[in-house]
Structure 1
Amino acid sequence: MITIQKKSLKKYSFIDLFAGIGGFHLALESLGAKCVFASEWDKFAANTYENNFHLKPFGDITQIDEKKIPRHDILCGGFPCQAFSVSGKQKGFEDTRGTLFFDIARIVNHHKPKVLFLENVKNLAKHDAGRTLKTIINTLEDLEYSVFTKVFNTSNFDLPQNRERVYIVAFHNSLDSHYFKFPIPPNNPVCLEQILESDPSDAKVIERDDIEIKKNYKVSTSLFSERELLNKPIQIGKVNKGGQGERIYHPLGHAITLSAYGGGAGSKTGLYLVNGKVRKLSPRECARVQGFPDNYILSSSNVQTYKQFGNCVSVNVLQYILVQISEVLRLNEISKNNVIV
């Protein structure tokens, strides 16, 4: 997590939909916002969420009456990407029926929060030839919101993980949103080695006869001072045929995208050559590359922990975007009160 001194959202409340293990919660709380409602259908993720935030998420969002959800200023969530059966027919709100995005839309339609902050896989922007994202944008615009979208890579936000995601920010039309700009990625040089644990017992070591390391690979100090070379995964070998989950990476590069369901010897985390051993990342290391602090309580099941961090959002990216969102809210407050900046 980045260090944020200013509690710029301390006046605001939020709801956490498709909450997972609370990446949005961590980011919003770091700016002072208060969570008044959370929803997560996976019982293991919900348990981890409750252990950390002392708030028990409600279950299946499709079964929750929007009228029973507390009033809130910000709605956030990493909703699943689904095909819209009638997308592209310009029916707006109706086009989303049968999808989980519809549940976001019906809650927004009832509560009209000031801000929506959503995250999804990068492919959402291209899904169904772009019609899925277009339907989402059209729906939110019909609900009286101005919508902004941007694809960011976690690698460019002080975390050593290659993870591209699309971020959607929408402001209710009662606010002047022309102030909003997505943040410029800091792109500071970071590498996986900086967040590794010292010989963790819960990081699976791979010992096989078909491990192949490129013997001619040399580490150059000057090479790794260049941020454009540092901030990406660096493959240095393979296991078996080098398919998905079978590639080996150098710790002076970045982790590959954490996955909830990936296969191969390095399933879910990828494989890394650390101190002469080929191993997966430990559960705590997965937390770190997603921007979760070391005091965050992990699931007692490593299987669930890997799945949870494969599914969750990168906290640092959210924080940088939230700083920009908070500035829009601040300037609107100034304008409303007729105060000269």
Structure 2
Amino acid sequence: MDIHNFKFIDLFSGIGGFHQALANQGGKCAMACDWNDKSRETYEVNYSLTPLGDIQQITAAQLPDYDVLCAGFPCQPFSIAGVSKKNSLGKKHGFEDKIQGNMFFEIIRIAQMKRSKIMFLENVKHLKSHDKGNTWKVIYNTLLENDYVVFFKVVDGSYYVPQKRQRVFMVCFDRKVFPNIKFDFPEYPAKRKLELQDVIEKHVDNKYTLSDKLWSYLQQHKENSAKKGNGFGYGLIDPKNDMWTRTMSARYYKDGSEILIYQGVNKNPRRLTPNEARKLFGYPDDFVIPVSDTQAYRQFGNSVIVPAIAHTAEQIIKTIKEYKLGGAKIVEDKGFVASKQLTLFGEGAVIC
């Protein structure tokens, strides 16, 4: 098995940010899963693979052989915006949210049914501080109890794309497969491949320009928020002067308020186009958007930033390669000859 040839499963797959990133590192997706039918549609069009539906219905018989479990599990129960919304509606959040909050334990269930050698998980930055840190303690300790070595970091996506998006990355190694392994998250790249001016299109349909009514409402809302001493309100971006946008959320389709594009003093601001949103998340130019603008905004707003995931995936492979080569060197020191063929997730060097 080639060092770059491995299989992964893509849980809570959305439109395939993990798929994009790991396939670029030589991985092959063995199975994907997402409850949203429109996201499954986008996934199938782009990857010729139809994700399964409800993760809670997946059985051991449906699980293929794989090496890496990827999951950007539902973040709304833990995000600042999600918690605020649920509080305002009198709903539970975090693990008390029985629908979304318990999805982490579905990941553990899958990992237990067919042991994951590596898990690569992603969630919102607020996961670590939610419920005074208790949510994070449960997640971290559950992973340890299942005999995984856990490494984590809050990764700032603005080093990869011109969007301020901070997320917790968790890389977990099966302790029995990789005893004593050490993992360091990669250093941020010195330069982004795309800057904001590269993302923003010059000629855009007028349908993306805000109506006078909506623009007036957003301005009033921001003024009222300022009087109350908080920072709620729209985010206006000038591509000529700004370096990045705010975080794009799944609610962007409602009014586009977190990222509005300045169009001069004589014209109302506008929303991003779906194609601009695609670029803000690092998807390639040939990525197909087969759904409506509303669905596209939801799908990108729920996505991972592809180049950030890819950079970490590259570091995972590099770490395993060095780990395996270290094992081969030990074998050679004992008087044996190790072949040059290494397995990425197997027992180590092949002994001749």
Q: TM exceeds 0.5? A: yes
Q: Distance in 1 between matches of 2:63 and 2:5?
A: 19
Q: Distance in 1 between matches of 2:150 and 2:7?
A: 20
Q: TM-score, normalised by structure 1?
A: 0.80
Give structure 1 stretches of 5+ with no counterpart.
1-7, 87-96, 213-237
* Structure 2 residue aligned with 1:273: 262
Q: Distance in 2 between matches of 1:17 and 1:318?
A: 15
2:182 to 179, 182, 200: 179
Task: Between 29-38 and 325-334, report the one with greater CA deviation.
Answer: 325-334
Question: Could you tell me which amino acid in structure 1 is paired with residue 202 of structure 2?
Answer: S
State whether structure 2 residue 36 is matched by structure 1 residue 37.
Answer: no
Q: Deviations over 1:23-72 (max 9, x none)?
A: 00000000010000000100000000000000000000001113420111
State whether structure 2 residue 203 is matched by structure 1 residue 192.
Answer: no
* Structure 1 residue aligned with 2:275: 284
* Structure 2 residue aligned with 1:101: 104
Report deviation, 1:209. 8.2
Whose helix fraction is larger, Structure 1's or Structure 2's? Answer: 2
Q: Distance in 2 between matches of 1:303 and 1:20?
A: 15
* Structure 2 residue aligned with 1:216: none
* Structure 1 residue aligned with 2:345: none
For the residue of structure 2 that corresponds to 1:331, the secondary structure is helix
Report deviation, 1:245. 5.4
Q: How does 1:56-205 map to 2 (within 5 A)?
A: 56-81=50-75, 82=77, 83-85=94-96, 99-157=102-160, 159-173=161-175, 174-176=177-179, 178-188=181-191, 191-201=195-205, 204-205=208-209
Question: Could you tell me which amino acid in structure 1 is paired with residue 95 of structure 2?
Answer: F
Q: Distance in 2 between matches of 1:51 and 1:339?
A: 48
Question: Could you tell me which amino acid in structure 1 is paired with residue 102 of structure 2?
Answer: T
Question: Could you tell me which amino acid in structure 2 is paired with residue 141 of structure 1?
Answer: L
Q: TM-score, normalised by structure 2?
A: 0.77
Q: Distance in 2 between matches of 1:9 and 1:203?
A: 49
Q: Distance in 2 between matches of 1:57 and 1:202?
A: 35
Task: Between 57-66 and 239-248, report the one with greater CA deviation.
Answer: 239-248
Q: How does 1:310-321 map to 2 (within 5 A)?
A: 310-321=301-312
For the residue of structure 2 that corresponds to 1:75, the secondary structure is strand
Conservation of the 8 A alpha-carbon contact between 2:157 and 2:163:
yes
For the residue of structure 1 that corresponds to 2:95, the secondary structure is coil
Report deviation, 1:202. 7.2
Report the RMSD for the aligned CA atoms in angstroms: 2.8
Q: Distance in 1 between matches of 2:183 and 2:315?
A: 7
Q: Distance in 2 between matches of 1:106 and 1:202?
A: 48
Question: Could you tell me which amino acid in structure 2 is paired with residue 256 of structure 1?
Answer: R
| Structure with larger Rg | 2
Conservation of the 8 A alpha-carbon contact between 1:17 and 1:78:
yes
Q: Distance in 2 between matches of 1:103 and 1:201?
A: 43
Question: Could you tell me which amino acid in structure 2 is paired with residue 193 of structure 1?
Answer: Q
Task: Between 27-36 and 323-332, report the one with greater CA deviation.
Answer: 323-332
* Structure 1 residue aligned with 2:236: 248
For the residue of structure 1 that corresponds to 2:288, the secondary structure is coil
Q: Distance in 2 between matches of 1:264 and 1:41?
A: 22
Report deviation, 1:127. 1.1
Give structure 2 stretches of 5+ with no counterpart.
78-93, 226-231, 334-339, 341-352
Report deviation, 1:198. 2.7
For the residue of structure 2 that corresponds to 1:239, the secondary structure is helix
Question: Could you tell me which amino acid in structure 1 is paired with residue 70 of structure 2?
Answer: C
Conservation of the 8 A alpha-carbon contact between 1:154 and 1:164:
yes
Q: Distance in 1 between matches of 2:215 and 2:251?
A: 23
Closer, same or farther: CA 209–60 of 1 in aligned 2, 3 Å = closer
Q: Distance in 1 between matches of 2:200 and 2:50?
A: 31
Conservation of the 8 A alpha-carbon contact between 2:253 and 2:297:
no
Conservation of the 8 A alpha-carbon contact between 1:115 and 1:170:
yes
Q: Distance in 2 between matches of 1:310 and 1:257?
A: 8
Q: Deviations over 1:173-228 (max 9, x none)?
A: 1214543101111252663112122312276112538969xxxxxxxxxxxxxxxx
Conservation of the 8 A alpha-carbon contact between 2:199 and 2:280:
yes
Q: Distance in 1 between matches of 2:206 and 2:185?
A: 38
* Structure 1 residue aligned with 2:48: 54
For the residue of structure 1 that corresponds to 2:262, the secondary structure is strand
Q: Distance in 1 between matches of 2:300 and 2:286?
A: 15
Q: Deviations over 1:289-325 (max 9, x none)?
A: 0000110001331100000000010001101111110
* Structure 1 residue aligned with 2:297: 306
Q: Distance in 1 between matches of 2:139 and 2:61?
A: 22
